[in-house]
Amino acid sequence: MEAAPSTSPCRYSYEEYKETADWLLAHTKQRPKIAIICGSGLGGLADLLGDKAVFPYEDIPRFPTSTVPGHAGQLVFGSLQGRDCVCMQGRFHFYEGYDIHTVTYPVRVFYLLGVETVIVTNAAGGLNGSYNVGDIMILKDHINMPGFAGQNPLCGHNDIRFGERFPCMSDAYDRDLRAVARQTAEEQGCGGFLQEGVYCMLAGPSYETIAECKLLQMLGADCVGMSTVPEVVVARHCGLRVLGLSLVTNKVVTDYDSAEKANHEEVLRTTQRRTQDLERLVSQLIANI
């Protein structure tokens, strides 16, 4: 196989991801088939796991560390509904200064651990006028805005051991998992605040201007956030099934006369309000998939 040119923006070799995965496999007896990535303020999902093995990111060879309030920074292995799971309590964002390959580093490690399904969660701003704060949106699609600007995590040398050069993204969010999520949400009493829509990722960390929100609405986005999409692209590249869930933590401002201002405190407050519903939903989902 031809080596990546030294100028390649792809920072990690197969062997580096493998080193991390092998270290984790040597340090836990769990063999997870399901990975959960916790969004801002949603780290409580990891507390659902029983028989836990917890690894702070700084102890894991080659793992990045997370710096955002609401993201604890540890990998939690454990059992939920009789299934082995691994949970990222704290994700990495492009705006923290990590390059796009580092943001997605854990996803390839999950693949090498033997994970088959990834449940990705996030806190997001509601663009769709009919959405309310506290709604849960099942992702049916995304808009990869940083990807439009060349920040796609698959740019650079393609290692065929992870996946093909030109992966399809029209089926990024698994249809069957979405159906299970809808059904489970109904059963768990979440049907009254359930949505299904399109998530748009922007690089952040500044929240959107009013004109930007109007533009995203015109593009057909229902929610906006600063994460998730790079992780999903890398997960799909290596054939993992993906379910995405956004919690609408705030409504974006689209009115020049509004006194509302997006802020991370509101985001975290809303996650606290919905944390039990989300935990119930994810827990039962895992039993149903």
Q: Choose from ligand R1P, ligand HPA, none: what does 117 bind? Cβ within 5-8 Å by kind.
A: none
As measured in angstroms, the least distance from the Cβ of 133 to ligand HPA is 10
Task: Note whether 106 binds ligand HPA by CB under 6 A.
Answer: no
Instruction: Choose among 122, 116, 129, 118: nearest CA to 92.
Output: 122
Distance, in Å, from the CA atom of 249 to the CA atom of 40, rounded to the nearest integer, reads 10
Distance, in Å, from the CA atom of 112 to the CA atom of 131, rounded to the nearest integer, reads 38
Task: Note whether 91 binds ligand R1P by CB under 6 A.
Answer: yes
Could you confirm whether 226 is annotated as catalytic? yes
Amino acid letter, residue 102: T
Residue 179 parent element (H or E)? helix 175-187
Binding-site positions for phosphate: 40, 71, 91-93, 123, 227
Instruction: Choose among 208, 233, 188: nearest CA to 126.
Output: 208
Could you confirm whether 172 is annotated as catalytic? no
Contacts of ligand R1P in 18-57 (CB under 6 A): 39-40
Q: Which residues of 61-80 are buried (b: 16+ CB within 10 A; e: fewer)?
A: eebbebebebbbbbbbbbeb
Residues 6+ apart with CB under 8 A from 259: none
Instruction: Identify the residue among 172, 226, 242, 248 touching ligand R1P (CB under 6 A).
Output: 226
Task: Note whether 230 binds ligand HPA by CB under 6 A.
Answer: no
Could you confirm whether 111 is annotated as catalytic? no
Task: Note whether 236 binds ligand R1P by CB under 6 A.
Answer: no
Contacts of ligand HPA in 111-130 (CB under 6 A): 123-125
* Residue nearest ligand HPA (C-beta atom): 125
Using CA atoms, how far residue 7 sits from 29, 141, 157, 162, 191, in Å, is: 39, 32, 10, 21, 50
Instruction: Choose among 153, 155, 162: nearest CA to 238.
Output: 162
Task: Note whether 267 binds ligand HPA by CB under 6 A.
Answer: yes
- As annotated, the active-site residues are 40, 71, 93, 95-96, 123, 226-227, 250, 264
Q: Which residues contact ligand HPA (rule: CB under 6 A)?
A: 123-125, 207-208, 224-226, 249-250, 252, 262, 267
Q: Which residues contact ligand R1P (rule: CB under 6 A)?
A: 39-40, 68, 91, 93, 122-123, 204, 225-227, 264, 267
